[in-house]
Amino acid sequence: MSGLGFPSALSENVIVLPQTNQLKGLFTIIRDCTKPRSEFIFYANRIIRLIVEEGLNYLPVSPKTVTTAQNASFDGVEFDGRICGVSIMRAGESMEQGLRECCRSVRIGKILIQRNEETQQPVLFYKKLPKDVATRYVLLLDPMLATGGSAIKAIEVLLDNGCKQEQIIFLNVIASPAGIKNITAKFPKLRIVTAAIDDSLDERGYIIPGLGDFGDIYFGTEEK
């Protein structure tokens, strides 16, 4: 796994999970094209859970004191404001369960973006967002950040619906340096939380070393 140290030099709003042996081991499994789909799903879900937990660290909190069963005081914190998830269909839907496991009854919106074959530009095909999305902190879900075209379009949709950059935390599994540069240049106040930054993109725009099409593998629709 590569890219260590890259994001901190670019933007303090790009957060990479600590590259522990556990995380490296999980990535070794999901990147291995010989592993069965069942293992990919199980270990990808573990990585997604780690990403969600890290993303929640960047929500605002206020001090709160509670009384324990021993009638003692504990000085803790409570989250300010409300959250929602928004998945970029279809691969982003693979991250929804991890969010639900961390945030009970969380609302999740959907955005579908596809590339226009003639212009090669991302086009919004469908969106369904919570009516009060502008008042919530948004966890934007998409596992692979390649060029950033779809993510940029999705972020523009959120901004058009009243969200502020500071309210959006983009959660993703693997990012490319190019994708991170493209997003942070356009949205410098938005946070990105990723588990890995890979080396580059190939001529087709695929992340290298990557792991293939995350959504196809996860949902079992990859071509044989």
- Distances in whole angstroms, Cα of residue 218 to Cα of each of 22, 116, 132, 143, 162: 21, 25, 31, 11, 32
Give me the number of domains the chain comprises: 1
Q: How confident is the model at residue 204 (pLDDT cuts 50, 70, 90)?
A: confident
- Domain-located, residue 181: yes
Helix, coil or strand: residue 61: strand
pTM confidence score:
0.92
Q: Does some domain include residue 30?
A: yes
Task: Tell me, yes or no, whether 224 lies in a domain.
Answer: no
User: 50-109, pLDDT tens digit by residue?
Assistant: 999 999 999 999 999 999 999 999 999 999 989 999 999 989 999 999 999 999 899 999
> 72: which residues sit within 8 A by CB, 6+ positions away?
none
- Average pLDDT, stretch 135-163? 97
Q: Report yes or no on 33 lying in a domain.
A: yes
* Mean per-residue pLDDT over the chain, rounded: 93
DSSP 3-state of 136: strand
Q: What is the pLDDT of residue 223?
A: 62
Any idea which residues carry the catalytic annotation? 115, 119, 213, 216
Dist. CA 177–CA 88, nearest whole Å: 20
